[in-house]
Structure formats: C-alpha cells, structure tokens
Amino acid sequence: MTQATESIKYTPLYDFHKQLGAKMVEFAGYSMPVQYPLGIKQEHLHTREKAGLFDVSHMGQILLKGESAAAELEKLVPVDIVDLPKMKQRYALFTNSRGGVLDDLMVTNIEDGLFLVVNSACKQKDVEHLKRHIQHKCDIEMLKDRSLLALQGPAAAGIMAKLAPESSQMVFMTAANLVLDGVECLVTRSGYTGEDGFEISLPSSHAEHLARLLLEEEDVEMIGLGARDTLRLEAGLCLYGHDLNENITPVEAGLTWALSKERRKDGKRPGGYLGFDKIFEQLEKGIQMKRVGLQPEGKIPVRENSIIVDDDDQIIGKVSSGGFGPSVGGPVSMGYVPIESAKEGTKLWALVRDRAIPMQVVPLPFMKTHYYRG
C-alpha cells in the first residue's frame, strides 16, 4: 500500500482504486475516490438502475460491550436502544447539552454487543465522547482492522443471494453474520442512497478480494463519493457537517421520526440524554427554523452556503446541500428556512453568483426510496 503521510490516511482499498482509474480527493482526512472513469452522472444512474459498490472504509466502526451497554448508550442518544432486538439496526444521533447533533450514526444489536457505524470526520470525537460519559460502565473498542463496503441498487439483493442465499431473508435495518466466499462478514440491509442494498463489515485483509469478486458481476460498478453525495441528496438524507451540526437539533433537521416514542416525554424512558429538555421544548412549542427540500428552477445548481432570500429580498436562510440530481434531471437542494417559509409550495430565491435563482419548497425525498421491507 502507498505510504500514508501524517495528514492523509488511506483505506485498505486505496491502491485498488488507483488501479481502477479513480480520481482521488481528500475527504474527512482520507484519500478517497470521488469518481471513476465512468463519471459521476453515469455512476449515479448505474446505482439507481443496477448496483453500485462503494468503499466506505473511512467510516468509524465501534463495538460497545457490557451488560449495561444499551442502557448506557441511551444516555447519549434520543433513541430506544434497550429494546432494540438482536440483529436489528437503528438510526441514532449523539446530542449535546443544547440538543444539537454531535454526529449521526447507525446502531446494530449484534450477538456480542452494540455495533456502531459513525461518520469518518467525527469518529475520534465520538470515541472520546463515549469514553467520557460511559466508559466506566462498558468497554469501547474502535475496530481499526475492519473495512466497510456498500452494495446498493435494485440488483444488490440478487447478487448478495448468490453469495449467501440467507441474505434474501433480511429486510431493511436488519443484520446477519454471513460468510461471503469464505469471508466472515457482518452484513446489514441498509445504505445511504435511498435504494435497497447492504453494508458489509469485514476484515480489512479480505476487502480487496470481496470487492473484486463483486465487480465480476455484470451489474456491479465501483461508485465514488461524487455519486454517493448526489444519491443521498436525492433521497433527502442528511450529511453531517452540512445538514447537521452541533447547533442544529433533530427537530429542526426534520428528524423527529428518529426520536423514539419510548424516549419522549410520555414514553417509558423519557429524556435522560444530553439536551433532552431543549428537544422536548421544541416538540411541544415548535421551532423557528426547519430543514426543507428546495427545487430550483432551470438548470443552474444551487449549492451549499448559497444565501436564501424571500420576496422582500430579506436574507432568511442558507442552503445546506445542493447540486444536480441526475435521476431528477435537474438541480436539487436542501436548506434551513424560517418555519413560516417552510410550507410546501413557498417561493424563495437563492443567490448564485449575484443572480437570484427562483426556488420552491418541496417535500423530501426528491426521489422515491426503495428500501426492502419485505
């Protein structure tokens, strides 16, 4: 493998990406493939139509062990972890004392503990957060010798079934220990594209072997970060550091569906996590700003940090994510606007290179999702 410098890290598939002609960029401290010779638009469309393979080994994989691990993790997330069944997965959020989001993550209740997948840019901070609050009650281990591959798209299920027929019994947000061509893997039926698919955690020593095996399938192409971003944007999914940060609460982000009823004010285990008082207040009294879908008119993409103005040319918000949606066939954006401007159909404008681009508030997601629920 190419020698890493102190400033840039490399996934175990770095050299493999280079062999495939990937254009590499720095992302969250890692050298990652932004696109392959196929190009971002075609990679995006291929994933929607067939199957895309993503190297997401830069993400953090954490194992929590101990009898009280679930109860302890509940002190840090507004989510029901105690009653999470074995081999089931749940979306969660680390919150701070103000109710802001420190990171969003996936939690799976596996046979020997809780398996967490956290964002790459946040993983060291997340481990420190866990240790600071719950290390005295459970063991916290960063799994540094594991890679993470994501196989996404309508052909993903058939391809996985060839390698492990029992994968066909899995539904969205479930997990299984599967042997893929002799390699023991932890597989979840989940992803970040809005399509059906799987995320595969496996020993890094076998990552290239499995990637090559999957690419032998006619319907599979390697997909880079560029298409990963446009896919998740069309699916209305948040990107931490853009649509979520420490000053945005889950309620403002439109993630109230992720706030388990068991942890709400009238639930079995209300509150008890950092910032719950602020979140309860917003659930009861409402919010001032909200994340919305924005459909710009024309073909000019309205990207992150573009200023949003109203009919009176008053600055009211900012775009948090935006670009061209290949499946939509035009630009799509998300942003934060005052609640009085968040109603579907509201006309707004974005300032792009001194031009006012008309936009309309639209429901999320931009594309229908295809998660397999059985």
Bridge partners of residue 350, in order along the sequence: 308, 357
Structural domain boundaries of the chain? Answer: 9-60+145-234, 288-374
Bridge partners of residue 10, in order along the sequence: 31
Q: Superfamily for 9-60+145-234?
A: Probable tRNA modification gtpase trme; domain 1 (3.30.1360.120)
Cβ pair 262, 83 in contact under 8 A: yes
Q: Give the CA distances from residue 238 to residues 17, 50, 152, 175, in Å, rounded to whole numbers and listed in that order.
A: 26, 24, 18, 22
Distance CA 148, CA 185 (A): 10
H runs (alpha helix) in the chain = 14-19, 40-49, 69-73, 123-134, 156-163, 207-215, 225-234, 276-285
At residue 116's C-alpha, the angle toward residues 115 and 118, to 5°, is: 160
| Tokens linked to 27 | 């992302």
Q: In this predicted structure, what is the pLDDT of residue 7? A: 84
Task: Note the maximum CA span of the chain.
Answer: 64
CATH number for domain 288-374, candidates 3.30.930.10, 2.40.30.110, 3.40.50.170, 3.40.50.720:
2.40.30.110
Give the pTM. Answer: 0.96
- Burial class of residue 296, CB neighbours in 10 A (0-12, 13-18, 19+): buried
Q: Is 19 helix (H, G, I), strand (E, B) or coil?
A: helix
- Which residues lie closer than 8 Å to 140 by C-beta, 6 or more apart? 62, 63, 64, 127, 130, 131, 134
Per-residue pLDDT of the chain (374 residues; tens, 9 = 90+): 444 445 899 999 999 999 999 999 999 999 999 999 999 999 999 999 999 999 999 999 999 999 999 999 999 999 999 999 999 999 999 999 999 999 999 999 999 999 999 999 999 999 999 999 999 999 999 999 999 999 999 999 999 999 999 999 999 999 999 999 999 999 999 999 999 999 999 999 999 999 999 999 999 999 999 999 999 999 999 999 999 999 999 999 999 999 999 999 999 999 999 999 999 999 999 999 999 999 999 999 999 999 999 999 999 999 999 999 999 999 999 999 999 999 999 999 999 998 999 999 999 999 999 999 99
